Structure 1
Amino acid sequence: MTIADLPVPLYDALVRVGHVPHLLVAMDFDGTMSPLVSRAEDARPLPAAAAAFAALSGLEGTTTALVSGRALASLRAVATPPEEALLVGSHGAEIWLGPDSTPLKLNDSQQESLARALHCVDAVVATHPGTVAERKPAGVVLHYRQASAEAASDAVEHVRNALERENGLFITEGKMVLEVSAIRSNKGESIALLREVTGADAIVFAGDDVTDEHAFAALTTGDLGIKVGPGATAASFRIPCAQALPAVLELLLSIRTSSGAPRTP
């Protein structure tokens, strides 16, 4: 998809928001900056999306951020974000706002809760072929994209039955993943924090997963939410897939670097 292919309502909304004095461009990563892949470690941003995002990061009056469910270390490894970009990992449990950011530390109670979650998910993975456990600083993720439908359903049921009534543990479901965290956090809280620390006049946020709905709900008048792909959403606009995102970022870059961005007939 090129800029000229963007739907007229979305194009016009991007032009409007692109002219604010200070714009925050916040993007989910998996399924948004990068197409979804079978193995999380194989994900990479689409080159055109990465290039436009990096160029936006270097502009005066423009702040960029990646807001992801991945742990920060994993996000840095696969996304190779520009130095200027702010980073939110683990659905908001980990936040990097620059060199002075404080690393995440769990208290004793949270560490005990996390240990229970790790033990449970590891046990489930050991008996359900195709499932994988991913450890994070504040949680553990059950991946079941490569499992059979029966194994996936049974694995999710086992984890839920064992942990969803546990005090100090919070369960979030996404696309072919179930995450158990010792910290309650979501992307909506992260968007609110990013708005506060950057002083942005408007926010553009794009995401594809159900976990991104918290972020869409946190947007306010003047902001712009873009759902990537199918599914019910609170976002005002939609693009069909990650491959359409570069056109969105390239239009914003054109607007922020020129006096205007006339639509191609």
Structure 2
Amino acid sequence: MSAVAYTSPEGLAEAVARAASARHLLIALDFDGTLAPLVDEPMSARMLPAARDALERLAHAPATTVALVSGRTLEHLAEISEREPDSRIHLAGSHGAEFWHPGAESAQDSDSDVSLRDELTARAEQIIGGLDGAWIEHKRFGFALHTRLADREQAAEAATRIDDLVRTEAPAWRRRTGQDILEFASRHEGKDSAVRSLRDRVGADVVLFAGDDVTDEDALASLEPGDVGIRVGGGETVAQYRVADAAALAVLLGRLAEARAGE
């Protein structure tokens, strides 16, 4: 994994042109930190207006599929993305364990570990009791510890105790880390499998994927020759390209929408 990614205007322009010329283009995007700035209250996150405008235009372009691929539950992803019933944008929640496709019913498998999930979530909440700025997010297939606003030393101690808990009680669960988040899930799907599923479903010959966090690297690493991978912001990455932030990505998506429409 490299911290270096091409950031020249020429390189990005070439990537946009390659994506715009695809027979069928799949644009798969992380949400938090990619389309929406990171916020202290997760459910208050909203897509930048410029990003929303670009995605709506892309979703209505010929032979073009737009999808949001997030670690959020499908329910929460639908809420923060402000999905309308007639939306043309596909949603992949819980790192690809849940899907919503336009015109189809949501694909949600049952969770065979409900009792264990509830027990471990409750015990994790006990562990962080009294730790200001930390909270446990209830997820469909597990839970996540958020420490964005917590004291760093105390947060690290709490994370270690929760790590030990899950390692002992649910050693087969998948562990993920991100920006001020530690997540555990009974399901092992990742954003890489979500992108593959979407690619196969729509028959895309080119995929453009963009993300800003550790879990997005799974999808970026899974891209095929001819695809376009973009890292949003800093951090080590396998992506070929990098943009500074969500606002910069919104500009790029706007240019892609223009090129895809032949404007």
Normalised by the length of structure 1, the TM-score is 0.91
Return the offset for 1:158.
0.9
- AA aligned to 1:136 is K
Q: Does the CA-based 8 Å contact 2:98-2:107 persist in structure 1?
A: no
Q: Select 1:179's aligned residue among 183, 208, 218.
A: 183
What is the match of residue 97 of structure 2? 93
The one-letter amino acid of 1:256's match is R
Summarize the alignment of residues 141-220 of structure 1 with structure 2, pairs less than 5 Å apart: 141-165=144-168, 166-220=170-224
Once the 2 structures are TM-superposed, how far is the Cα of residue 6 of structure 1 from its aligned partner? 6.8
Task: Give yes or no for contact 2:92–2:98 (8 Å, CA) kept in 1.
Answer: yes
Structure 2 counterpart of 1:68, which letter? S
Given the superposition, is the C-alpha separation of residues 74 and 25 from structure 1 closer, same or farther in structure 2, using an over 3 Å criterion?
Answer: same
Q: Give me the whole-angstrom Cα distance separating, in 2, the residues matched to 1:90 and 1:103.
A: 10
Unaligned runs of 5+ in 2: 1-6
Aligned partners of 1:41 and 1:78 also within 8 Å: yes
Indicate the residue corresponding to 2:136 in structure 1. Answer: 133
Cα shift at 1:127: 3.6
* Counterpart residue identity of residue 148, structure 1: D
Show CA shifts across 1:197-246 (max 9, x none): 11001000000000000000110011000000111101110001111011
1:9 is displaced (CA, Å) by 0.6
| Structure 1: distance between partners of 2:77 and 2:187 | 19
Is this contact kept in 2: 1:27–1:207, CA < 8 A?
A: yes
Paired position in structure 2 for 1:105: 110
Instruction: Kindly state the Cα deviation for residue 139 of structure 1 after the two structures are TM-superposed.
Output: 1.4
Distance in 2 separating the partners of 1:250 and 1:240: 16
CA contact (8 A) 1:228 1:239 kept: yes
Q: Partners in 2 of 1:145 and 1:182 — Cα distance?
A: 24
Note the alpha carbon deviations across 1:153-183, whole angstroms, 9 max, x for none.
1111111111124234221111100111111
Superposition map of 1:1-265 within 5 A: 7-81=9-83, 83-98=87-102, 99-107=104-112, 110-165=113-168, 166-258=170-262
Q: Deviations over 1:114-170 (max 9, x none)?
A: 123212321122142211111111111111001011121111111111112423422
Aligned equivalents of 2:234, 2:167: Cα separation in 1: 28
Contact 1:187 1:215 in 2 (8 A): yes
Q: Partners in 1 of 2:136 and 2:196 — Cα distance?
A: 30
Q: Secondary structure at the match of 1:164?
A: helix
Asked if the contact 1:32–1:245 (Cα under 8 Å) also holds between the matched residues in 2, the reply is: yes
Output the TM-score relative to the length of structure 2: 0.92
C-alpha distance in 1 between matches for 2:31 and 2:213: 10
Which stretch shows the higher mean deviation, 89-98 or 241-250?
Answer: 89-98
Q: What amino acid sits opposite 2:182 in the alignment? A: L
* Identity %, equivalent residues: 36
Which residue in the other structure is 1:263 paired with?
A: none
> Which consecutive unaligned segments of at least 5 residues does structure 1 have?
260-265
Alignment size in residue pairs: 253
Separation (CA, whole Å) in 1 of partners of 2:141 and 2:101: 18
